[in-house]
A and B are shown apart, each in its own frame.
Chain A
Amino acid sequence: EPEVTQTPSHQVTQMGQEVILRCVPISNHLYFYWYRQILGQKVEFLVSFYNNEISEKSEIFDDQFSVERPDGSNFTLKIRSTKLEDSAMYFCASSASGKGANTGELFFGEGSRLTVL
């Protein structure tokens, strides 16, 4: 069964450092997403990405965050200057189609745990 893969599985960084989280979406999917989940809290939408540009973003996704699809397979989330409150599990997801009627399920990766010290 095709799956979304994420690296690293766990990253520890110092406050103020830049972090890049990587994702390989399912190969024929066109829509890509990042969500995050702070320990013990809800899964929160960050950003959606289609056709090499951001489709939608939440209030959480401020200027410290950026996304990129540098090649045909990877989808990355960059946090420019990490803060303590960025510590969370970050989930990448992809779908075959995006906004519109009955677009089908999102496939989530296993997550990248980010710990900011």
Chain B
Amino acid sequence: LAKTTQPISMDSYEGQEVNITCSHNNIATNDYITWYQQFPSQGPRFIIQGYKTKVTNEVASLFIPADRKSSTLSLPRVSLSDTAVYYCLLNYGGSQGNLIFGKGTKLSVKP
């Protein structure tokens, strides 16, 4: 199984843009890159999914270079409520049924 590596933790301040990079050197041709967010004592929540180039939705952007060996989740102008754990996952064919979660990146947003 292709593995992802992301920082264990990050700190930021309100109003800043936060970029969380995930490495996946052995990503397979059919793998999509998906990011989930988890608040304490809650279930994970889908943020964004992409295959290549850039994907943007109302909450985040996902940048994927041509070689797809890494990806960057960009959160524009974070607030205190964005404090959470962010997971980068690879899922075959975009299927999100049997997700393999890593340890994620714990983002702490300070006032």
Answer whether A and B are interacting partners. yes
Which interface residue of A48, A101, A110 has the most chain B CB atoms within 10 A?
A: A101
Which among A66-74, A76-84, A89-97 touches the partner chain? Answer: A89-97
Contact B94 A103 (CB under 8 A): yes
Q: Is A75's beta carbon under 8 Å from chain B?
A: no
CA distance A35 to B93 in the complex (A): 20
| Chain B, interface residues (CB within 8 Å), range | 20 to 34
Q: Nearest Cβ distance between residue B35 and chain A, in whole angstroms?
A: 11
Q: A42-B102, A102-B32 given as contacts; is B43 within 8 A of A93 (CB)?
A: yes
CA distance A110 to B44 in the complex (A): 9
| Chain A, interface residues (CB within 8 Å), range | 20 to 34
Q: Taking CB as reference atom, which chain B residue is nearest A101?
A: B93
Chain A residues in 8 Å Cβ range of B110:
none
Q: A42-B102, A105-B49 given as contacts; is B97 within 8 A of A95 (CB)?
A: yes
Q: Nearest Cβ distance between residue A66 and chain B, in whole angstroms?
A: 18
Q: Is A25's beta carbon under 8 Å from chain B?
A: no
CA distance A33 to B96 in the complex (A): 10
Contact A45 B98 (CB under 8 A): yes
Q: Is B103's beta carbon under 8 Å from chain A?
A: yes
Chain A residues in 8 Å Cβ range of B103:
42
Which interface residue of B38, B41, B98, B99 has the most chain A CB atoms within 10 A?
A: B98
Chain B residues in 8 Å Cβ range of A56:
97-98
